[in-house]
């Protein structure tokens, strides 16, 4: 074995180790985005449902808002007029859009926190999104669209 072949083999092993580490980190990041992203989506659905319940509990508002959802989609409906906003969750995005005449369009991105252990939701200007404020915006948009 020559010095050259020994050095080349050593460099090759180092590169392979770096590539394995990158692949492992990439898989870990993907798993964190998937798992924590689903949890964040669940929290957002719950927050929307809570806002609908709070509004419906006010005098004269019984049943004005309904929410239907599953693991990848949620629909908030203003029941008097059938206006709605639909939200969908995909691997690293959350997208809300108005239906039946409602003008509302929001595309949000899920990103890892700097430590890589959790996820944040960001808007198109790369600003963190507050789930309570997002839920309020959905409800308020539906109220305006319904003329209330």
pTM for the whole structure: 0.78
Q: Give the pLDDT of the chain (148 residues) as one tens digit per residue.
A: 678 777 766 666 677 666 665 565 778 878 878 888 899 999 999 999 999 999 999 998 888 899 998 889 999 998 877 889 999 998 889 999 999 989 999 999 999 888 888 888 999 898 999 999 999 999 999 988 877 7
Backbone angles phi, psi at 113, to 5 degrees: -70, 160
- 73 DSSP β-pair partners: 88
Query: What confidence score (pLDDT) does residue 22 get?
Result: 57
- 108 DSSP β-pair partners: 94
Angle, CA of 75, 81 and 85, to the nearest 5°: 25
Query: What confidence score (pLDDT) does residue 18 get?
Result: 60
Question: Which of 105, 76, 91 lies closest to 35 in space, CA to CA?
Answer: 91
């Amino acid at each position: 074995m020559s010095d050259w072949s020994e050095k080349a083999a050593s460099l090759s092993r180092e590169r392979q180790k770096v590539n394995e580490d990158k692949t492992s980190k990439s898989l870990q990041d993907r798993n964190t985005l998937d798992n924590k992203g689903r949890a964040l989506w669940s929290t957002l659905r719950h927050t929307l449902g809570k806002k609908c319940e709070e509004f419906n509990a006010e005098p004269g508002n019984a049943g004005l808002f309904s929410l239907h959802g599953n693991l990848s989609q949620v629909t908030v409906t203003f029941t008097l007029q059938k206006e709605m906003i639909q939200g969908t969750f995909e691997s690293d995005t959350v997208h809300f859009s108005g239906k039946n005449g409602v003008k509302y369009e929001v595309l949000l991105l899920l990103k890892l926190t700097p430590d890589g252990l959790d996820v944040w939701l960001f808007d198109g200007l790369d600003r963190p999104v507050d789930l309570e404020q997002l839920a309020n915006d959905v409800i308020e948009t539906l109220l305006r669209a319904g003329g209330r």
